[in-house]
Amino acid sequence: MMANPEKIEACSALPLGQCRRGFKGKLVSVSPVATQGGFDAEELERRLLELGFIEGASVQILHEGPFGRDPIAVRVNDTTVALRRHEAMAILAE
Amino acid sequence: MTSASAIPAPQDILPDPDAQTIEAALVGAPNCGKTALFNAMTGATQKVGNYSGVTVERKVGIATTPSGRKFSVIDLPGTHSLRARSPDEEVTRDVLLGQRPGERVPDMLLAVADATNLRGALRLVNELKKVGLPIVLILNMIDIARHRGLQIDHEALSAELGIPVIPATAVRRGGLDALWEVVDPMLEAGLPERRPSTWQAPSSHDLRIAMREAERLVTAHVVQPPAPDTASARIDRVVLHPVAGPLILLGILFLMFQAVFSWAAPFMDAIDAVFGWLGALVAQVVPAGLVQSFLADGIVAGIGSVIIFLPQILFTFLFILLLEDFGYMARAAFLMDRVMGKAGLNGRAFIPLLSSFACAIPGIMAARVIDNRRDRLTTILVAPLMTCSARIPVYTLIIAAFIPNVKVFGGLSLQGLVMFGLYAAGVFSVLIVAFVARYVFAREERNAPLMLDLPDYKMPRPRNIALGLYQRARVFLRRAGTVIFWAMVVIWALSTFPQPPEGATQPAINYSLAAMIGKAVAPILAPLGFNWQIAVALVPGMAAREVAVAGLATVYAVSGEGGLIHTLAGQWSLATALALLAWYIFAPQCISTLAVIRREAGSAKWMWVAVVYMFALAYLAAFATYQIAAALGAG
């Protein structure tokens, strides 16, 4: 569905950008690699943190966009945030 | 400000920046109910303007405490962090840090938190405390939080944070009592001096620490029921459903078209009738001559041609404000993001472009919801290509005159198909221009990601909607009204002077400056198949598209559109008519739109970019249409 050239380091953790609707888990790390678009890694990390994506938070994919399953709506703790799969690749969850 | 014997008009109580009144600044994330709180605190005393040099909305009002103490409240743009990421957020940061020239530093901060979601607000408060101003933390929407079974120990939070923490409900009567009980004595005792700011942009490391601290505070002082299945989650299951979601969006769009085109019609007819009656009155009272012509044709008709669009604009805004208040806008952006992304636009650009079907002016103003500057500029620049309602009179006239009223493809009206084709041409040109702009203007800039909160749904508050509509109406009438008004005065003068000589045989306009200009411009427009009469009509048509219809009627000296249709059908070739339609898809013939582009884009440069690219497209499209049609024998 989505070609991902980036390596997945943690053994059981998945990039949120690859998960499907219904995925429910705990956030393991927010660690953007230099992205092809969007922001630079540090800025993306800060923005994700500000939206509530922090290690230990509970995450759940509630909805997928109607076209190409992108973007995704993610429940993170008590808020719901929409983001594109591209940026969600920086979030590892298990 | 003297005694409160009468309700003063909002502009009369404009807070003087030099006055010794206390100024409190509302700071908080978008969607935390900050604006509702601002409305509840200040009511009709609001003054909406722009910060100097930028197009960020500046809202100030006067709050009166129950004990009669007055202080001014400024509603700073919503922000998640003082790390400014958009022009709006920069304003908030600069005002708080005293770095904004011409803007006073507030005396105290009212930090607003959504009580149902405290973590983000607690992290923001952590940053705000470093600014050195006294802070009060307001836990807004406490009623919703309580309803969901959240128990917040605000006194313990207050002790830990070292600042007053007050539960409040902006939208309920008496919901601010607790706030007044704290603020009144604070003002009475006098606020402490501002301490020097120790704020620095947090790194991701700092942010993690602040987030953990917020998490600790929430765990310690907030009792949460186990994951409630909220109404918002249930609504989203339908509204964001992969199949039902887009269908619901389509339904809402359909309803909006209905509102703008059908429901607004009686109001527009009424306004038309009032101005028609006014014009007739002027013609009766004032003796025929220059003064009568100026008042009736220049002033009354001029102002009327602007105000007639007010109902459509208000209906558009009514829908937008309702959808915004309800919390649907973010969902529409979510649903359309992928489609808009293909054209290099952001999902958030969908709503501004939608409004532009009514009128590009509210559309361009609605582009404020886009936080990325490049995306917002692109949206502003392409919005005028959407088929706005002012094109309808022109399209209708030419189609009636040149497109046979026959059925094709088994029952479809050819005229209707042409109209639909013109709308489709507008939409396609928007997508194509946006796509091109992405590569031409901002190759080096990165593609802005979509990251947005999907806030909980809320019932729209009639008071907020009414205030919003009132402000839009005022802005529209004041800004666009003055521009078009002066344009009409100039056009009246151009088409009236010099006056025809004694015993003139041709219509008066043929002797006027407008005709001279038309004849001077005509050679440039000849390759498009436009004659000098069209050129003359296009001169007033530069102010507003639909004025060209009146212009043509004047030039061909006929009355009533039925007469005009026959005249045009006899005088123009089909190629000329089609070329004029093509011209109208693109040409930036609306001074108010250009004025709004200039204001919203923050500089005249972007207005000229719009003028040049739209005229270039109009000329090319009309040229190609005329030459091809003529070659095919329609010339």
ipTM for the predicted complex:
0.86
Tokens standing for residue B108: 């105290």
- In the stretch 341-370 of chain B, residues with CB closer than 8 A to chain A read 347
Considering only alpha carbons, which residue of chain A is nearest residue B150?
A78
A64 contacts in B (CB within 8 Å)? 242
Helix (H, G, I), strand (E, B) or coil at B571: helix
Helix (H, G, I), strand (E, B) or coil at B616: helix
Q: Residues A20-23: contacts with CB within 8 Å, 24+ apart?
A: A20/A61, A20/A64, A20/A69, A21/A61, A21/A62, A21/A63, A21/A64, A21/A69, A21/A72, A22/A61, A23/A59, A23/A60, A23/A61, A23/A93
Helix (H, G, I), strand (E, B) or coil at B241: coil
A71 contacts in B (CB within 8 Å)? 334, 337-338, 347, 450
Please state whether the peptide bond connecting residue B540 to the residue before it is cis, i.e. omega within 30 degrees of 0: no
DSSP B52: T
Query: In which residue ranges of chain B is pLDDT below 50?
Result: 1-18, 559-561
Phi-psi region of B98 (alpha: psi -120 to 50; beta: other; left: phi over 0): left
Strand order in the sheet with B23-28: B47-50, B57-64, B70-75, B23-28, B108-114, B135-140, B165-167
Yes or no, beta carbons of B338 and A47 under 8 Å apart: no
Judge whether B148 and B142 are in contact, CB under 8 Å.
Answer: no
- A4 in contact with chain B, both atoms CB, cutoff 8 A: no
CA A12 – CA B252 distance, rounded (Å): 43
Tokens standing for residue B168: 């409040």
Residue of A63, A77, A87 to mutate for B, most B C-beta atoms under 10 A? A63
CA B548 – CA A92 distance, rounded (Å): 60
Position B256, amino acid: M
What is the pLDDT, as a whole number, of residue B560? 45
DSSP A20: P
Yes or no, beta carbons of A87 and B454 under 8 Å apart: no
Q: Name, in order, each residue with C-beta under 8 angstroms of B482's C-beta and a sequence gap of 6 or more.
A: none
B451 contacts in A (CB within 8 Å)? 47-48, 51, 81-83, 87
Judge whether B402 and B608 are in contact, CB under 8 Å.
Answer: no
Considering only alpha carbons, which residue of chain B is nearest residue A58?
B227
Judge whether B96 and B82 are in contact, CB under 8 Å.
Answer: yes
Judge whether B390 and B305 are in contact, CB under 8 Å.
Answer: no
Yes or no, beta carbons of A64 and B245 under 8 Å apart: no
A60 contacts in B (CB within 8 Å)? none
Yes or no, beta carbons of B453 and A81 under 8 Å apart: yes
Judge whether B116 and B145 are in contact, CB under 8 Å.
Answer: yes
CA B223 – CA B232 distance, rounded (Å): 21
Considering only alpha carbons, which residue of chain A is nearest residue B239?
A63
Q: Name beta bridge partners: A76.
A: A59, A79
Position B631, amino acid: A
Q: Where in chain B is the domain with CATH 3.40.50.300?
A: 23-223
Counted across chains A and B, CB pairs separated by less than 8 A come out at 111
Yes or no, beta carbons of A80 and B120 under 8 Å apart: no
Helix (H, G, I), strand (E, B) or coil at B137: strand
Judge whether B79 and B88 are in contact, CB under 8 Å.
Answer: yes
- CA A13 to chain B, closest CA, distance in angstroms equals 20
A77 contacts in B (CB within 8 Å)? 119
CA B58 – CA B91 distance, rounded (Å): 9
Out of B83, B338, B451, closest to residue A68 by CB? B338
Helix (H, G, I), strand (E, B) or coil at B160: helix
A27 contacts in B (CB within 8 Å)? none
B337 contacts in A (CB within 8 Å)? 65, 70-71, 82, 84
- B205 in contact with chain A, both atoms CB, cutoff 8 A: no
Residue of B80, B118, B204, B369 to mutate for A, most A C-beta atoms under 10 A? B204
Out of A52, A71, A73, closest to residue B119 by CB? A52
At how many degrees (to 10) do helices B547-555 and B532-541 cross?
140
- B117 in contact with chain A, both atoms CB, cutoff 8 A: yes
pLDDT digits (tens, 9 = 90+) for A24-46: 999 999 888 765 555 678 888 88
- A5 in contact with chain B, both atoms CB, cutoff 8 A: no
Tokens standing for residue B155: 């006194």
A85 contacts in B (CB within 8 Å)? none
Q: Name beta bridge partners: B152.
A: B222
What is the pLDDT, as a whole number, of residue B139? 94
Please state whether the peptide bond connecting residue A15 to the residue before it is cis, i.e. omega within 30 degrees of 0: no
pLDDT at A80 over 80: yes
What is the pLDDT, as a whole number, of residue B619? 95
DSSP labels, A22-54: T-EEEEEEE-PPPPSSSS-HHHHHHHHHHTT--
Position B319, amino acid: F
A44 contacts in B (CB within 8 Å)? 449
What is the pLDDT, as a whole number, of residue B50? 65
Yes or no, beta carbons of A42 and B202 under 8 Å apart: no
B335 contacts in A (CB within 8 Å)? 65-66
Lookup result for tokens 């007044």 = B180
CA A33 – CA A12 distance, rounded (Å): 19
Considering only alpha carbons, which residue of chain A is nearest residue B249?
A66
Helix (H, G, I), strand (E, B) or coil at B259: helix
CATH of B23-223, one of 3.40.50.300, 3.90.550.10, 3.20.20.70, 3.40.190.10: 3.40.50.300
What is the pLDDT, as a whole number, of residue B427? 86
What is the pLDDT, as a whole number, of residue B18? 44
CA B394 – CA B559 distance, rounded (Å): 16
Q: Which of A4, A12, A15 lies closest to A90, judged by CA?
A: A15
Q: Which of A30, A32, A85 lies closest to A52, judged by CA?
A: A30
Yes or no, beta carbons of B449 and A38 under 8 Å apart: yes
- CA A25 to chain B, closest CA, distance in angstroms equals 14
Burial of B353-382, coded b for 16+ CB within 10 Å and e otherwise, reads bbbbbbbbbbbbbbbbbbbbebbbbbbbbb
Yes or no, beta carbons of A42 and B204 under 8 Å apart: yes
Tokens standing for residue B159: 């002790």
SS (H, E, C) B190-205: CCCCCCCCCCCCCCHH
DSSP labels, B94-131: HHHTT-STT-PPPSEEEEEEETT-HHHHHHHHHHHGGG
A65 contacts in B (CB within 8 Å)? 242, 334-335, 337-338
Phi, psi of B270 (to 5 degrees): -65, -45
Considering only alpha carbons, which residue of chain B is nearest residue A31?
B204
pLDDT digits (tens, 9 = 90+) for B426-469: 988 998 999 888 777 665 555 667 888 888 888 888 888 888 88
Q: Name beta bridge partners: B62.
A: B72
Question: Between the CA atoms of A5, A9, A10 and A15, what dihedral angle is there, to the nearest 10 degrees?
Answer: -20
pLDDT digits (tens, 9 = 90+) for B100-114: 888 888 999 999 999
A86 contacts in B (CB within 8 Å)? 449
CATH number of the domain at A5-93, please? Answer: 2.30.30.90
Burial of B474-509, coded b for 16+ CB within 10 Å and e otherwise, reads ebbeeebbebbbebbeebbebbbeeeeeeeeeeebb
Residue of A20, A80, A86, A89 to mutate for B, most B C-beta atoms under 10 A? A80
Q: Name, in order, each residue with C-beta under 8 angstroms of B3's C-beta and a sequence gap of 6 or more.
A: none
CA B35 – CA B74 distance, rounded (Å): 10
Out of B233, B246, B452, closest to residue A82 by CB? B452
Q: Name beta bridge partners: A73.
A: A63, A82
- B240 in contact with chain A, both atoms CB, cutoff 8 A: yes
